[in-house]
A and B are shown apart, each in its own frame.
Chain A
Amino acid sequence: MTKSTKNSPNMNVSRRAILAGGAALSASLFLPKNLRAQDYPTDAVNTTGLAVTDDTVTVGILHSVTGTMAISETGSVQAEKLAIDQINAQGGVLGRKIEYIQEDGASDWPTFAEKAKKLLVNDNVASVMGCWTSASRKAVLPVFEQYNGMLYYPTFYEGLEQSPNVIYTGQEATQQIIAGIDWVTKEKGAESFYLLGSDYIWPRTSNKIARKHIEKLGLKVVGEEYYPLGHTQFNSVINKIKLKKPDVIYAIVVGGSNVAFYKQLKAAGIDMTKESPVLLTISVTEDEIRGIGGENIEGAYACMKYFQSLENENNEEFVAAFKEMWGDDMVIGDVTQAAYLGPWLWKAAVEKAGSFDVDKVREASPGIELESAPEGYVKVHPNHHLWSKTRVGKAQADGQYEVVFETADLVEPDPFPEGYQ
């Protein structure tokens, strides 16, 4: 199982599918051609009673704007609104302006399920951009499957899921983890790892995959530990780390705990810029660094698919547009970018299908490409995840990452990785 970097055979399959299925697609997507609504009569593009009129289409945005998760989800809401604005400025989807109904999941999973149902049943939205935590996604999943909705889910997550009603625009665990561990072994000569995480499914599953991969490489895991969400005292585990002297601290701490962990790590004299040990995380985006403080995490490495500092034209435009809409002091993390992809991927699928019907959008989704993605280029895999590159960034004192590595090719998403379960 070294799927992470090889991808050409499958690429070809997908390419063929695209050639057969939608040759005109990429042209129609990215050279904004004004599709006029009258060319797509409402009766024809909406046969299932969605909220589509002759000049508007309604989608849902479902994130927590209150409660503990609001910290993380705010960026996703902003990115989704930006994407919708931009799409509308280009003439909308099938000539129809996107309108959105925003609901608050309030960091509470039953509320997410309730609001998802409201969006699908009462508002008949054509698609939903939303959810952040795995728990909220698990809570809404049966609702989306029952009422046949379409969810664009932005967060990097643990995998082990593949629903016909979800498009996963973030990376699943193997995409994020394997390339990073390969990199740190090769470049930094790491031989022993200390795995650390917040106590819930994503860190645990990710660490499980990490451990399997580390052991496959013939290297050693010297410790593995989980703390409750919101834990703020890490001195004990820092002592254990000092004692075990691992080459790499592999940290998947989330939320407020992050701030406590990195501040205490620095205060305990572990200077990450000296890279002994190397700190590799998959949970700290630029968003989190704002809370942690760049000076406290300087020198740590993060492994994900997107960093704000990526140098390409798409990204420069995206960052500029984002800051113009939400303010100069905004930072953009991996998930924010993935959330930005949601409305664009949906638009592409709708236009490829020539219909808002969820079934047709689903059918059209595999093979959709997005050349304009800030992360460079993504493509939807038949398993509803995205092909994407994996990158390693080094945290700078100013709160940005400097990209030090990226995979040569797109990494194939593999939500049910054999040999890693």
Chain B
Amino acid sequence: MLSNSKTAFITPKEAIAFAILAALIFVVLPMALDTFRLNLFGKYLTYAFVAVGLVLCWGAGGILSLGQGVFFGLGGYCMAMFLKLEASTPENTAIQSTPGIPDFMDWNQITALPWWWEPFHSFGLTLIAIIAVPVVFAFIIAFAMFRRRVGGVYFAIITQAIAAILTILIIGQQGFTGGVNGITDLRTLNGWDIRTDEAKNILYFVNGILLFACLFAAHYVRKSKLGRLLIAMRDQEDRVRFSGYDVASFKIFVFCLGAAFAAIGGAMFTLQVGFMSPTLVGIVPSIEMVIFCAVGGRLSIIGAVYGTLLVNFAKTTFSESFPEVWLLGLGALFIAVVMAFPRGLAGIWADWIAPRIDGLFSRQSSSSAAPKTPAE
């Protein structure tokens, strides 16, 4: 699976890391888990898209967004709108007063499909919208803020407020958005039933492949000149600016890229879980996604995937075994990661495991898999 993408920009050690992750996602998990658990892991992996985007924005670029849920949600909603329209055929909705529109619109006395739902009849336009809508939105936010050199904590809090606004808006406009229930009861994608076990398995693999595409894209960005500039900007923004680089454009680009990743994750979430709701847009999921990234190691693209899997797996396991106390464990995990392992899983790997593996690769010069300083 990796052979064709193994190009010069990847060192042998990184290639092995990618290969191990690929083996885990494409071989070990599907063999070890039943469809139900596999589907769960598929859901976790959709969050990994966001975490990978955050590695670029936050770990490399120093831009902490507490509003990634917005892009995840927008991507998910675009997909959900398409699926909902497909599920709302006049035959399926014959009992409504206006057949052919989504059920929640009918409940809210809306008698015609709003114009901005129309494009979502087309699968092609939907695919474009899944990426375009969040990216344009991200661009507007980033353009306004980075041009004015807003950064750090301010950016975090403003993006958080945007997440809050969008949640209230979606809930308040329930006739058009499904409100707090979200868009539910999605059935088929171009006639293909997405609820069967077989479909879930296929979607899991599609999800995995897309995730790897994003991983490679992220890796490429990190390795490119842009990636090195990002790190330089994070550490000494003014010097980069004085060297003649257009700092804002780089930041805008990387933020939009992160938004695009999140949007793909959101769309895959909708497909695998079968609905989309405003609880995935708000502040809490947005912060949780940052935490997935932190647990994985905010500088490591692959670490972000492991971090996402670990936290979600812990969340599910804790809450199944000790439903009344799992928050304690989760809270403690976050504090422990920040206090004791600021570089997350990737740091543990680099400090404890990699040196031992290095013995096997002693001929290779050691690469920069894990930079030594944590982000601001």
Query: A residues engaging B (CB < 8 A)?
Result: 65-66, 102-104, 106, 108-111, 113-114, 117-118, 121-122, 133-135, 138-139, 141-142, 146, 158, 160, 199-201, 204-205, 208, 226, 228-229, 416, 421
Contact = CB atoms under 8 A, between A and B. Distances in A.
Given A118-B36, A421-B97, A421-B109, A103 B184 contact: no
B179 A138 contact: no
23 contacts: A103-B319, A103-B320, A103-B323, A104-B319, A104-B323, A109-B182, A114-B273, A135-B182, A138-B182, A138-B275, A141-B185, A142-B187, A142-B195, A146-B195, A158-B107, A199-B171, A200-B174, A204-B108, A204-B179, A228-B168, A421-B97, A421-B107, A421-B109
A108 B195 contact: no
Contacts of A122: 34, 36
Interface of B: 34-36, 39-40, 43, 95, 97, 103-104, 106-109, 168, 171-172, 174, 179-182, 184-187, 195, 273-275, 277, 279-280, 316, 319-320, 323-324, 326-327
A141 B195 contact: no
A228 B171 contact: yes
A104 B326 contact: yes
Given A138-B181, A138-B185, 14 more contacts: A66-B324, A103-B323, A106-B319, A110-B273, A118-B320, A121-B36, A135-B181, A139-B184, A142-B184, A199-B179, A200-B174, A204-B108, A226-B172, A421-B107
Contacts of A142: 184-187, 195, 274-275
A400 B162 CA distance: 42
Contacts of B323: 65-66, 102-104
B274 A113 contact: yes
A139 to B, nearest CB: 6
Given A66-B326, A114-B40, A135-B181, A204 B174 contact: yes
B172 A199 contact: yes
B74 to A, nearest CB: 17
Given A118-B36, A135-B182, A66 B275 contact: no
Nearest first, the 3 A-B pairs at minimum CB distance are A104-B323, A200-B180, A138-B184
Given A104-B319, A108-B279, A201 B182 contact: no
A139 B280 CA distance: 13
Contacts of B181: 109, 134-135, 138-139, 200-201
Given A421-B97, A421-B109, A114 B179 contact: no
Contacts of A160: 103, 107
A65 B324 contact: yes
Contacts of B316: 114
Contacts of B180: 133-135, 199-201, 229
Nearest to A120: B36
A113 B275 contact: yes
Nearest to B284: A108
B334 to A, nearest CB: 16
B279 A109 contact: yes
Contacts of B185: 138, 141-142
B171 A139 contact: no
A158 B104 CA distance: 12
A201 B184 contact: no
Nearest to A63: B323
A319 to B, nearest CB: 25
Contacts of A158: 107
A41 to B, nearest CB: 29
Contact of B171 (A133, A146, A200): A200
A134 B43 CA distance: 23
Nearest to A228: B168
Contacts of B107: 158, 160, 201, 205, 421
Contacts of A204: 108, 174, 179
A65 B326 CA distance: 10
Contacts of A229: 171, 180
B29 to A, nearest CB: 16
Given A66-B326, A138-B185, A201-B107, A110 B174 contact: no
Contacts of A114: 40, 43, 273, 316
Contact of B277 (A103, A110, A141, A205): A110
A204 B174 CA distance: 9
Given A142-B195, A201-B174, A228-B168, A135 B320 contact: no
A409 B330 CA distance: 51
A122 B108 CA distance: 37
Contacts of A226: 172
A200 B108 CA distance: 11
A139 B277 contact: yes
A172 B265 CA distance: 37
